[in-house]
Chain A
Amino acid sequence: MNNISTDILEKVKEGDADAFTDIVDAYQNAIYNLCYRMLYNQTEAEDATQETFWKAWTNFSKYDFNRSFSTWILSIAAHYCIDLQRKKKVPEMEIDETMEEIIPDPIPHPEQEAIRNEEEQQIQDMLNSLNETDRAAIVLRYWYDFSDREIAESLSMSESAVKSRLFRARKQLAQYWDGQTQLNQG
Chain B
Amino acid sequence: MDSHEYYEELILKDGDLSGEERKNLKAHLEECEKCQKLEEQWKSCLNLLTKAPMVEPKADITGKWEQTLQVRTFEKEMKNQNRQIIGTIVLIAILSVFSCTVLLSPEFLIPSTIQISQILFLLAGLANQFQTILSMLRLPVLICSLGGFLAVICFIVINRIGINNEENSKEGVEQS
Contacts of B45 in A (CB 8 A): 126, 170, 173-174, 177
CA distance A42 to B38 in the complex (A): 33
A42 to chain B, nearest CB (A): 7
Contacts of A29 in B (CB 8 A): 54, 56-57
Query: For residues 46 through 104 of chain A, which have their beta carbon under 8 Å from a beta carbon of chain B?
Result: 46, 49-50, 53-54, 57-58
CA distance A174 to B59 in the complex (A): 34
Q: Say whether B41 contacts A57, CB under 8 Å.
A: no
Interface residues of B (CB under 8 A from A): 8-9, 12, 14, 37-38, 41-42, 44-45, 48-50, 52-59, 61-62, 64-66, 68-69, 72, 76
Is A10 located at the chain interface by the 8 A CB criterion? no
Q: Say whether A50 contacts B48, CB under 8 Å.
A: no
Main secondary structure on chain B at its contact with chain A?
helix
Q: Say whether B41 contacts A143, CB under 8 Å.
A: no
On whether A33 and B56 interact (CB within 8 A), knowing A57-B69, A166-B14, A174-B41, the answer reads yes
Is A122 located at the chain interface by the 8 A CB criterion? yes
Interface residues of A (CB under 8 A from B): 17, 20-21, 24-25, 28-30, 32-33, 36-37, 42, 45-46, 49-50, 53-54, 57-58, 119-120, 122-123, 126, 138, 141-143, 166-167, 170-171, 173-175, 177-178
A26 to chain B, nearest CB (A): 10
Chain A CB within 10 Å, residue with most, of B57, B64, B69: B57
Q: Say whether B12 contacts A170, CB under 8 Å.
A: yes
Q: Say whether A33 contacts B54, CB under 8 Å.
A: yes
A32 to chain B, nearest CB (A): 4
Q: Which chain B residue has the least Cβ–Cβ distance from A167?
A: B12
On whether A17 and B52 interact (CB within 8 A), knowing A24-B62, A170-B45, the answer reads no
B60 to chain A, nearest CB (A): 9
Q: Say whether A30 contacts B57, CB under 8 Å.
A: no
Contacts of A33 in B (CB 8 A): 54-56
Q: Say whether A54 contacts B49, CB under 8 Å.
A: no
Query: Top 7 closest A-B pairs, CB basis?
Result: A174-B41, A28-B61, A32-B57, A174-B42, A142-B49, A170-B12, A33-B54
Contacts of B9 in A (CB 8 A): 167
Q: Which of A30, A122, A141, A174 contacts B12 (CB 8 A)?
A: A174
Q: Which chain A residue has the least Cβ–Cβ distance from B49?
A: A142
CA distance A111 to B51 in the complex (A): 23
CA distance A17 to B54 in the complex (A): 27
Q: Say whether B61 contacts A46, CB under 8 Å.
A: yes
Q: Which chain B residue has the least Cβ–Cβ distance from A166?
A: B14
Q: Say whether B57 contacts A28, CB under 8 Å.
A: yes
Contacts of B37 in A (CB 8 A): 178
CB<8 Å pairs between A and B, sample of 24: A20-B69, A21-B62, A24-B61, A29-B54, A32-B57, A33-B55, A36-B55, A45-B55, A45-B57, A46-B57, A46-B61, A49-B57, A50-B61, A54-B72, A138-B49, A142-B49, A142-B50, A143-B54, A167-B12, A170-B14, A174-B12, A174-B42, A177-B42, A177-B45
On whether A175 and B54 interact (CB within 8 A), knowing A28-B61, A122-B48, the answer reads no
B11 to chain A, nearest CB (A): 8
